[in-house]
Amino acid sequence: MRGRVRRPRGRATGSVPPITAILFIGDVVGRAGRRALRELLPGLREELAPDFVVANGENAAGGIGITPKEADELLRAGVDAITLGNHTYRHREIWSYLEQERRIVRPANYLPNQPGRGTTIVERDGVTLGIVNLSGAVHLQAGSPPLVAIDGALKEVARADQILVDMHAEVTSEKVALGWYLDGKVTAVVGTHTHIPTADARVLPGGTAYITDVGMTGARGGVIGMKREQSIAVMRTHMPMRYEPSDEDPWINAVLIRASKPRRADEIRQILRSSPAPSA
Ligand SMILES: [Fe+2]
Ligand SMILES: [Fe+2]
């Protein structure tokens, strides 16, 4: 199975090498993020012809966590697999869903007692994509160091043609180090969690596509997706306040990774698009 990649859809094969295209969508935040994904994905499918679409859904429910309702909505919208992060267990309803639904993963370096799996494999037209979710250990509660846990996680997806790793981490150094550690072993290492896209997307010398943070799919008019008035008030008063997701100026932040060889990327490209305003 390893080594099989399919020909691009609707294109003459000729001398064009077979390509697998993976669209990875950064943290989907609240209703505005889900709507942006729903509205922009059909056009991105036309334009970019991704074979696989993977989205980080850790902020899909009201900006914090995810429930089966939002997970089903993302899957119905055409997402092949969902990755998560530090807000995974915020809503109790998702706990059993994580055990039952194979298309959603939480960080592989969480404790064994925590519900869900850290890796999965999805398949399309005979090509398989292994997905690994990891959590950074700095400023986040991870069960074990991601650069150690990744070895075991990679064994679980060893049969996949392509491998995508979502490194959900706060600090840039952990993400950069993981990228270097995995260079030449996986197709892509994509960072999530900070909600701000970084300008360092590139293919490392060994062939692994890398970006420190993909950014978020949500309201740019807020503070990392939440209403800016509330964030400003909390920072000015040091008093707790309820945070709600913003609806203002939604964008999709994503990357497209193209690979013509097993577990080696040819290209990583940032896809940053604003979503049209809702009609009413
Ligand atoms: Fe997030
Ligand atoms: Fe996060």
**Tens digit of pLDDT for each residue in 235-252?**
999 999 889 999 999 999
* pLDDT tens digits, 188-198: 999 999 999 99
Ligand 1 centroid to residue 164 C-alpha, Å: 18
Distance CA 64, CA 59 (A): 4
Distance CA 209, CA 268 (A): 6
Ligand 1 centroid to residue 235 C-alpha, Å: 19
Q: What is the pLDDT of residue 5?
A: 46
If 0-12 CB within 10 Å is exposed, 13-18 middle and 19+ buried, where does residue 7 land? Answer: middle
Q: What percent of the chain has pLDDT over 70?
A: 93
Ligand 2 centroid to residue 66 C-alpha, Å: 12
Identify the band that residue 276 occupies on the pLDDT scale cut at 50, 70 and 90. Answer: confident
* pLDDT tens digits, 80-100: 999 999 999 999 999 999 999
Ligand 1 centroid to residue 39 C-alpha, Å: 20
> What pTM was estimated for this model as a whole?
0.93
| Ligand nearest to the Cα of 253, by number | 1
Q: What percent of the chain has pLDDT over 90?
A: 91
Q: Which 3-state string (H, E, C) describes the chain?
A: CCCCCCCCCCCCCCCCCCCEEEEEECEECHHHHHHHHHHHHHHHHHHHCCCEEEEECCCCCCCCCCCHHHHHHHHHCCCCEEECCCCCCCCCHHHHHHHHCCCEECCCCCCCCCCCCCEEEEEECCEEEEEEEEECCCCCCCCCCHHHHHHHHHHHCCCCCEEEEEEECCCHHHHHHHHHHHCCCCCEEEEECCCCCCCCCEECCCCCEEECCCCEEEECCCECCECHHHHHHHHHHCCCCCCCECCCCEEEEEEEEEECECCECCEEEEEEEECCCCCC
CATH number of the structural domain 21-274: 3.60.21.10
Instruction: Please report, to the nearest 10 degrees, the dihedral formed by the alpha carbons of residues 139, 145, 146, 152 taken in order.
Output: -160
| Ligand nearest to the Cα of 106, by number | 2
Ligand 1 centroid to residue 126 C-alpha, Å: 32
Catalogue the active-site residues.
Answer: 87
Ligand 1 centroid to residue 194 C-alpha, Å: 6
Between 112 and 17, residue with greater pLDDT: 112
| Ligand nearest to the Cα of 85, by number | 2
Q: What is the pLDDT of residue 10?
A: 41
Sheet strand arrangement including 202-203: 119-124, 127-135, 162-168, 188-192, 209-211, 202-203
Could you count the other beta carbons within 10 Å of the beta carbon of residue 68? Answer: 17
| Ligand nearest to the Cα of 88, by number | 2
Q: What is the pLDDT of residue 11?
A: 43
Identify the band that residue 277 occupies on the pLDDT scale cut at 50, 70 and 90. Answer: confident
Domain ranges for the chain, please list them.
Answer: 21-274
